[in-house]
Amino acid sequence: MSMRSPRQDSGDISWTADTELENMLFCHPQPESYHQHSTNYIREALAPFLKNEEARLRAASGVQRSPFQYVLCAATSPAVKQQEETLSYLNQGQSYEIRMLNRKLVEYSDISSKYVKSIVRIVFHDRRLQYMEHQQLEGWRWDRPGDRILDIDVPLSVGIIEPRSDPLHLNTIEFLWDPLKNASVSIQVNCISTEFTPRKHGGEKGVPFRIQVDTFSSNEHGEHVEHVHSSSCQVKVFKPKGADRKLKTDREKMEKKTPQDREKYQPSHETTLLRE
């Protein structure tokens, strides 16, 4: 299975006004009070992160921006140093929402097709395991017959059509969505990070994964093969409730550090931005 190596974030994730942000954000079809709560929740979750990015983004203003931004509804760890990539913890089998935002609705309104196709994959972060990906996944298939590494929770997804799970690719799901409307996909990761760690002794350190989203528009033949965007984030997957315990441990660890030492680490956010 081929895999794109996600590059460092080069997209502009800043918005110029609250009204523009509200136009791009979305929530499930719920009463008005829920809409207000959801908008405030996302704005509060993203605001500190966006503020930290402003200076760097201004310096990189010459880089062409993609209209898309994906947000995984899982908290980032506070035990990650400033210059490192964010790390989020997931519980095995739990549904997590990925919200798909189109930052530049007008610019992307001239696509040849109403829908774009997004492919979501769970892949290895470590390069050593990337080279062995096929063997690792086949071994998992042998140990867990009938199970999938990545599933789509259709009832909890919003605004997607034709969801599909390829039986030959256990770590991949795909679907269509309208970039001019609200959309989110709910995913479940059924493997855990320690399943791909050599069993030498107890307490093995789990390997990190990447959640990667690749989006394609259609050509004149209606085939979704025109690549328009890719982004990803780093995650670790634990047995049920394990992610909550690990996040709590990280927070307690940071609380014990001096204020000077804490400045070396990233603040934790309730959501995770996928990086281009």
Q: Is 222 left (phi over 0), alpha (psi -120 to 50) or beta?
A: left
Report residue 23's pLDDT band, with 50, 70 and 90 as the boundaries. very low
pLDDT for the residue numbered 1:
46
- Give the residue with greater pLDDT, 101 vs 6: 101
Handedness of CA 112, 21, 52, 73 (dihedral sign): negative
Kindly report the average pLDDT of the chain as a whole number: 76
In whole angstroms, what is the distance from residue 123 CA to residue 3 CA? 8
Query: CA 260 → CA 81, 256, 257, distances in Å?
Result: 13, 11, 8
- Say how many C-beta atoms besides its own lie within 10 A of residue 8's C-beta: 7
More confident residue, 83 or 31: 83
Query: What is the pLDDT, as a whole number, of residue 129?
Result: 59
H or E segment to which residue 139 belongs: helix 133-143
pTM above 0.75, yes or no: no
pLDDT over threshold 70, residue 37 = no
Residue the block writes with tokens 């997957």? 237
Q: Give how far the C-alpha of residue 29 lies from the chain's centroid of Cα atoms, to the nearest Å.
A: 22
Look at residue 31 in the predicted model and tell me its pLDDT. 39
Helices marked H in 162-262: 242-255, 259-262
Mean local confidence (pLDDT), 209-231:
87
